[in-house]
Chains A and B, each alone.
Chain A
Amino acid sequence: GQNIDQPTEMTATEGAIVQINCTYQTSGFNGLFWYQQHAGEAPTFLSYNVLDGLEEKGRFSSFLSRSKGYSYLLLKELQMKDSASYLCAVRDPYSGAGSYQLTFGKGTKLSVIP
């Protein structure tokens, strides 16, 4: 089976740094994605990791350890507009009826406070 875990909610202060963790257990692995989703809107792609290590993109960084089944999304210099849900998703070529589709975690709702 597949299991993707991330914290349900987090709160952080404007200007601070926050790390959102994601652990996964899947039959196969072909990449891990992070999406941002503001309330009432569609998910927006943030980052993609397929090899171990850190990927940096502006204020956002994502880390992957395949041996540990672990990833995190790091948000620096938090802004109020970063208040949103952050979704961790794994692409598993062996899951489901189709192939190479994404399986999503339940999302982490981040609240940024002044």
Chain B
Amino acid sequence: SAVISQKPSRDICQRGTSLTIQCQVDSQVTMMFWYRQQPGQSLTLIATANQGSEATYESGFVIDKFPISRPNLTFSTLTVSNMSPEDSSIYLCSYCRSRADTQYFGPGTRLTVL
């Protein structure tokens, strides 16, 4: 599997601000995803990051709140906009090389909103 990293690993932010999380894979991958894991919960998919086009968002998630970029096949960003305490969560980037491939996860970004 490729090495996948995220920055920052954790952050504490004030209500109303925005945070951009970066995800880097050390080789080209076809599909990248962004998940959220709220305290004590399982993983929920936010969106599929599509290279060169707009992300595909799941029900309950919108581009204005979670803008996503994917400028190339190794990098993606997720922005959590106008944050509130309810956005406190772990945000995880993941990738797979093809639709039949295993999905691998980055180390996650632990976000706390005060």
* Cβ contact within 8 Å between B57 and A97: yes
- Count, chain A residues at interface, CB 8 A: 27
Contact flags B86-114 to A (C-beta < 8 A → 1, else 0): 00000010001001101111111010000
Is B33 at the interface (CB under 8 A from chain A)?
A: yes
* Cβ contact within 8 Å between B104 and A98: no
Q: Choose from B42, B92, B99, B102 the contact partner of A45 (Cβ within 8 Å).
A: B102
Given contacts A98-B56, A106-B42, contact A33 B102 (CB under 8 A): yes
* Cβ contact within 8 Å between A106 and B56: no
- Count, chain B residues at interface, CB 8 A: 26
Is A27 at the interface (CB under 8 A from chain B)?
A: no
Q: Choose from B33, B41, B105, B106 the contact partner of A101 (Cβ within 8 Å).
A: B33
Given contacts A87-B42, A106-B41, contact A97 B58 (CB under 8 A): yes
Given contacts A42-B92, A97-B57, contact A107 B42 (CB under 8 A): yes
Closest residue of B by beta carbon distance from A31:
B100
Chain A contact surface mostly: loop
Closest residue of A by beta carbon distance from B44:
A104
Minimum C-beta distance from A107 to chain B (A): 5
* Cβ contact within 8 Å between A97 and B56: yes
Contact flags A18-37 to B (C-beta < 8 A → 1, else 0): 00000000000011010100
* Cβ contact within 8 Å between B103 and A33: yes
A99 to B106, CA, bound (A): 20
Minimum C-beta distance from B52 to chain A (A): 15
What would 5 A/B residue contacts be, using CB atoms closer than 8 Å? A33-B103, A45-B103, A45-B105, A87-B43, A103-B45
